Structure 1
Amino acid sequence: MGDLPAIGTQGHQPVWKQHHRSDTRVHRQHLLASIHRLCGKFLGGSIPESIGRLTNLLAVQMAQNQFIGEIPVSFFNLSSIYEIYLGFNHLNGSLPSTLFDTVPLLEHLLLNNNNLHGNIPASASNASYLVEIDLFNNEFSGIIPSRFGNSQYLWWVEIGQNQLEAREASDWVFLNSLTNCSDLATLDLQQNRLGGFLPNSLADLSPGITTLIIAQNQITGNLPSRIGNLVNLTIFRANDNLLTGGLPDSIGNMRSLNVLSLKGNRFSGQIPDSMGNLYQLSRVDLQNNFFTGRIPSSLGGLANLQELDMSSNRLSGQIPIELLSLQSLSIRLDLSNNLLTGPLTREIGRLRNLKWLGAANNHLSGEIPDSIGDCLRECIPRRYSSVNEQLERPARAGSFKQSPSQKIPNFLGSIKGLQLLNLSFNEFEGQVPVNGVFKNSTAISLSGNSKLCGGDPILHLHLCDEQSNNSSGRKHLSTALKIIIAVASTVLCLVFALCLFAAFGRLKRLDKKFSFNPMEEQFRRASYPELLSATDGFAPSNIIE
């Protein structure tokens, strides 16, 4: 441990005295540049107990190594230390409840991505100078300390992916204390066991907060009506909870918002028109809720929007032309599994950068415009977010309907980038193309379209009318040909037989002609009585010798 003082033994004036309300990010980069000697060196083994003897130690950065075992108790007796970076190791054990009492000047505590367990130390309520705490991806459990936000300098709180709990309203008191942290920029509570009603105090967090993540918990209740107070929020993820009610109209005040994920909840009501004010939005995920009404046409003004997922709701009406004209959409547009009606207009051809289109399981009608071929790289009119789910879950009646006279456009088979095509459980009809993606039976799904015909025989679709007519014609022609051949064969056989018979008769006559004795014609034939009389009863004297 002789080299450890080099980590940080210089005279130190606490950062909270030098940089009140300062840019902590810049300061952190400075620290990374000056105390990096044991970071990412693939060091292993246990942290020795003797580290507690380095009483002048101010900062320790030993992240991204292979340290195992518990952090020595003596380590937390270093009262002068203000920075601890031990993330991305294999440390286990728990933290002493008196941690923030024995290390009162602690500003940065980064223990993320370890195997630490137990409660967050209750003494966190006494952490007056804490700027940053990162306990992400550990096994911490229990209730978050009620005065967790006691430090007025708190800037970064990342305690997601643990087993922290909240069941009663009193378990959410810590959120009230965080409203006093005017420098708070990040609050990550995702993937814990937080339940109960979401406090309205969420909307009272610092107006300067930029990242707020409460996703993958069991939180109930509504979003606070004053959520729009968080005007500098750029990332808001509340997905996969049990939240209900409508989206507050004030959400349109969050004009710095870049990512909004509310999927997998029980939100209902109409999507507010005010969302069209969120000009910085690049990704919106509202799938798997109970939203109703029309899709706001104001969304067509979100010039930075790259991904929009509104699938698995109860949205109705026509798809706004303004949305289909939004050229910034490049990753995904998924409107599947709703109650949308009307046609897909030709404006969809303006989505030239779109990779993923989902519109299955609606009540859409009319012709699929050929202009869609201008925009698709992958065309997946799908019901859910994965192909497996599509095949496992039942289809809703209606879906992506065609008018009775429309067919699958041939251009779909000519799109070179098309790798997966799901048109299942619709009312498509007509002949299936046999080129492009349609050659690969494993890349397409056409089930549930009883009026489709033709295509690759592997698809086991019935023959089209034209094919049936051709096939029937061929069958009739084949039958007639067989009859003609049979008759001709019979006639030929008869002619051949007659010829043989005639030839045989002629041969027989010739046979007779050349078989008689020519001498017979030189003498007259005589009867027996005549011979008897002429020879005197055959007398010996009449015998010719």
Structure 2
Amino acid sequence: MPTNNDDDGATILDDGLSTCDDDNNFNENSRNRTLTTSADAARQTAEAKRYHWFTCSLLFISFFISALIASVRIYVFPRQEQLSRLGSGNNDTTWNDIFGNGLEEKENALRLNQTLEYLIQTNAVVNSDVTLMKDIAEADYIVSAQYGAAVWIAQYDKFRIAIPSPTTSSSHEEHQFLQRYALAVLFFATGGTETWVYKMNFLSGLHECGWYDLFMEEGSEESFPFGVLCDGEPTYETEEEKLELEEDVWNGTRTVTAVVLFPMNNMWGSLPPELHHLRYLKALYISENEMLMGEIPFQYGWLKHLEFCTLFVLCVDSLNRRNNLSGKIPHSFSYLTKLRALRLEVNRFSGDTVKGDFGFLKEMTSLEDLALDYNANITGTLPELISDLSKLKALSLSNTKIYGTLPSSLSRLTELEALFVDDCDFEGSVKVLESMPNLTHVYLEDNSFNDTIDDTFLANCTNLVHLDISNCSFSGIVPGHLFNLSQLEVLDMSLNKLDGVLPAEALSNVHEGNNLTFLSLHTNNITGSIPTSIGRLKNLTVLDLSSNQFSGAIPSEVGDLSNLDILFLGRNNFNETPVPTWIRNMTSLTELSLANSSLTGNIPTWLGELTQLMFLDLGGNELTGTIPQSLSNLAQLMVLILKSNKLEGELGLGELEKLEILLIDDNSLSGNTDDMCVHEITYFVADCGGSRNVGGIDKEIECSCCTLCCIDENVTCNDSEWLGNHEGMWETGYNRVKWEFEDGMISPYVNYN
């Protein structure tokens, strides 16, 4: 066995050696080994390449996702609780939890420190305690508009403007920063984050010159920009580009020249001093925000380029819509030598001209428009220095406590076009106005001038458009030349002591293309008949000749005034006549008063065809018969006065759902008013205070909702003055604001139900 084993071992070793020695065998075996190794290597190489591409793809995808997440973190989903206070309106907290803040904390902290350092060391921020404020990320609210703006511009502003250095920055860099910062302070100081109705792109990623929106006036195709306006318009290819663009398309060269904020924007708080950083500002418009209070910062006097300063109410449909700014107007306004318009009306400013509180006006030699009206705490006499404002075109002091006379020095205001001094305490003569040939709008009503009007009254003022001298204690006549002023639209001489007659000849010479739309002469002592030439005033929409001493017949030519909305002829001495039939064609009438006009006969059924009527007064006449049921067609009727006639029958006017005043006392009406009481009438007076039986028929009204029940024995039961004269207010374009009665007031614009 051992031999066999040795042989086997020797055989194996010999075989190996023989292989090495045998060239042919070596070459063949070597070839076979080489082919096997190349196949394995190719297979391994292919696998390695596939692994390499997979790895690269995985890394690329990971990098892309990381970049996408970082972008989302930074630009879309910053911390909701902070952005909510900064006005972003983002409420998605889920993404916040996933991505976190998305801002580099160290960079933000550095930017905030740089911002605060710059603001404090350069005195750019008025609030010196800004560094003592808690971090906004920990506060429940923005404790300072200045600090809120600093945090926003340093950390949350996607525009990422460069923070200037207190020592090394260029003036251009500082200007760009302060411009954006000042507007942000305005936003925070006036409730922009919480109450502004229209944000106007404030605090968006756009350059601040893009912080505006376009608004279209109702009934107009023209749009108007409100917000921040600059010295030119940016160019966008599409509207989407405007909304999405986050870079400075102006390359830092744009300058804010106007801040025109949308009215009634629910602003509150106070105006921040920091607006003075808008050093090239030319116009500032803020209006109709009743929660905007405080004083005008004296720093606004440093805006030396300012030309228009308007902090008032734009329209006075309701005088409750106002800014509530108060205090004295800063004396620093004397630096605003370029100012052309200073409009601070409808606020709570105070000051006494006698004590020199308005001395700053002396330096405003460029002023063309000065409006201080509806500031009840402004008092004193009309200062002489106003006469030195030679460029003045409009002066408005209405509803202040200015008193005294119109100084003769006003004659120097030869450029003056509009004078508003109504509802003040002026007295004396108005002759000085005749030296102002360019006057177009004159409002003197509700003063005590006690002057006399003759044929020379304002004869040189041939450009008049509005003339309101009502309730001024004027005596004299109605001058005929006023009817020949081609541009005159409003003539209100009511509530004076005028006598004489209407100038028939002057009315006969009126050009039929005249512009007179409003004529009110009520409550004077004008006598004679109404001239038939009154019918030449074709454009009249309001004619009020009530409460005079007119006699004779009401001329049918009044019926030619087809544009009339309001016709008041009551309380005169006309001849007895039925309700004139020509009224039937006046389908535009909204108000008709023929009270105490000696009317006889029945109430015509065709009155129910005047479906625009809101006011109908036929009281104090000799009308008989029943109340026609056609009156229930007057769906717009708010005031119906039929008192003191000889009417009988049942009332039956339950369909008049808008009725607020119903006076039917001192008649012989009967029945109940259950259908009327459903509408909760504000003033309802009827004969319901006793029991009157005539021929076995009860002539009293059963009224469960009357505000006053009269009995026959009480002849003064409803003796109040119920003539609702049209008191046109220039503030509302001579539109009806209210009917004011002795017992109360009713407005056609208020839903009392």
Report the TM-score, using the length of structure 1 for normalisation.
0.62
Residue ranges of structure 2 left out of the alignment (5+ in a row): 1-272, 284-305, 313-321, 715-753
- Counterpart position of 1:198: 478
Q: Aligned partners of 2:597, 2:692: CA distance in 1, in Å?
A: 21
Q: Aligned partners of 2:326, 2:708: CA distance in 1, in Å?
A: 51
How far apart are 1:364 and its partner, in Å?
Answer: 4.5
Q: Residues 273 and 298 of structure 1 are in contact (CA less than 8 Å); yes or no, is this contact kept in structure 2? A: yes
2:495 corresponds to which of 202, 206, 216: 216
- Are residue 157 (structure 1) and residue 437 (structure 2) matched? no
How far apart are 1:301 and its partner, in Å?
Answer: 1.0
**1:393-542 alignment to 2 at 5 Å?**
400-401=667-668, 408-410=670-672, 412-415=673-676, 416-417=678-679, 419=681, 420-423=684-687, 429=694, 430-431=697-698, 438-440=703-705, 443=707, 445=709, 447-448=711-712
How far apart are 1:269 and its partner, in Å?
Answer: 2.1
Alignment-mate amino acid for residue 58 of structure 1:
R
- Counterpart position of 1:35: 308
How far apart are 1:158 and its partner, in Å?
Answer: 1.3
1:252 corresponds to which of 524, 535, 548: 535
Secondary structure of 2:459's partner? Answer: helix
Report the CA distance shift for 1:88/1:347 in structure 2 as closer, same or farther (over 3 A).
closer
- Are residue 127 (structure 1) and residue 413 (structure 2) matched? yes
**1:71-470 alignment to 2 at 5 Å?**
71-73=357-359, 75-76=361-362, 78-89=364-375, 90-97=377-384, 99-100=386-387, 102-148=388-434, 150-152=436-438, 154-167=439-452, 169=454, 173-178=456-461, 180-181=462-463, 184-204=464-484, 206-225=485-504, 226-227=506-507, 229=510, 231-294=514-577, 295-329=579-613, 331-341=614-624, 344-345=627-628, 347-364=630-647, 367-368=649-650, 372-375=653-656, 378=659, 382=663, 400-401=667-668, 408-410=670-672, 412-415=673-676, 416-417=678-679, 419=681, 420-423=684-687, 429=694, 430-431=697-698, 438-440=703-705, 443=707, 445=709, 447-448=711-712
Secondary structure of 1:177's partner? Answer: coil
Q: Residues 668 and 700 of structure 2 are in contact (CA less than 8 Å); yes or no, is this contact kept in structure 1? A: no
Q: Aligned partners of 2:280, 2:556: CA distance in 1, in Å?
A: 54
Report the CA distance shift for 1:428/1:97 in structure 2 as closer, same or farther (over 3 A).
farther
How far apart are 1:81 and its partner, in Å?
Answer: 2.1
Secondary structure of 1:190's partner? Answer: coil
Report the CA distance shift for 1:116/1:265 in structure 2 as closer, same or farther (over 3 A).
same
Q: Residues 525 and 549 of structure 2 are in contact (CA less than 8 Å); yes or no, is this contact kept in structure 1? A: yes
Q: Aligned partners of 2:708, 2:394: CA distance in 1, in Å?
A: 53
Give identity over the alignment, percent.
24
Q: Aligned partners of 1:142, 1:116: CA distance in 2, in Å?
A: 14
Q: Deviations over 1:35-61 (max 9, x none)?
A: 345446644333455644544443322
Report the CA distance shift for 1:417/1:46 in structure 2 as closer, same or farther (over 3 A).
closer
How far apart are 1:109 and its partner, in Å?
Answer: 1.1
Q: Residues 499 and 525 of structure 2 are in contact (CA less than 8 Å); yes or no, is this contact kept in structure 1? A: yes
Report the CA distance shift for 1:4/1:144 in structure 2 as closer, same or farther (over 3 A).
farther
How far apart are 1:304 and its partner, in Å?
Answer: 1.4
Report the TM-score, using the length of structure 2 for normalisation.
0.46
Alignment-mate amino acid for residue 711 of structure 2:
S
Q: Residues 598 and 622 of structure 2 are in contact (CA less than 8 Å); yes or no, is this contact kept in structure 1? A: yes
Q: Deviations over 1:29-88 (max 9, x none)?
A: xxxx98345446644333455644544443322333313221534524543322212222
Alignment-mate amino acid for residue 562 of structure 2:
Y
Secondary structure of 2:427's partner? Answer: strand
How far apart are 1:209 and its partner, in Å?
Answer: 2.1
Q: Deviations over 1:145-184 (max 9, x none)?
A: 25436333x3221121222121364xx7342222x21xx3
How far apart are 1:376 and its partner, in Å?
Answer: 7.2
- Counterpart position of 1:59: 341
How far apart are 1:264 and its partner, in Å?
Answer: 2.4
Alignment-mate amino acid for residue 91 of structure 1:
I
What's the Cα RMSD here? Answer: 3.8
How far apart are 1:143 and its partner, in Å?
Answer: 0.5
Q: Residues 136 and 160 of structure 1 are in contact (CA less than 8 Å); yes or no, is this contact kept in structure 2? A: yes
Residue ranges of structure 1 left out of the alignment (5+ in a row): 11-32, 384-389, 391-398, 403-407, 451-545
Q: Aligned partners of 2:660, 2:416: CA distance in 1, in Å?
A: 50
How far apart are 1:219 and its partner, in Å?
Answer: 1.8
Report the CA distance shift for 1:263/1:8 in structure 2 as closer, same or farther (over 3 A).
farther
How far apart are 1:240 and its partner, in Å?
Answer: 1.9
Q: Residues 282 and 307 of structure 2 are in contact (CA less than 8 Å); yes or no, is this contact kept in structure 1? A: no
How far apart are 1:270 and its partner, in Å?
Answer: 1.8
Q: Residues 308 and 340 of structure 2 are in contact (CA less than 8 Å); yes or no, is this contact kept in structure 1? A: no
How far apart are 1:344 and its partner, in Å?
Answer: 4.4
Secondary structure of 2:703's partner? Answer: helix
Report the CA distance shift for 1:418/1:272 in structure 2 as closer, same or farther (over 3 A).
farther
Q: Residues 562 and 588 of structure 2 are in contact (CA less than 8 Å); yes or no, is this contact kept in structure 1? A: yes
Report the CA distance shift for 1:104/1:300 in structure 2 as closer, same or farther (over 3 A).
same
Report the CA distance shift for 1:42/1:368 in structure 2 as closer, same or farther (over 3 A).
closer
Alignment-mate amino acid for residue 104 of structure 1:
S
Report the CA distance shift for 1:283/1:5 in structure 2 as closer, same or farther (over 3 A).
farther
Q: Greater relative contact order (Cα 8 A, min sep 6): structure 1 or 2?
A: 1
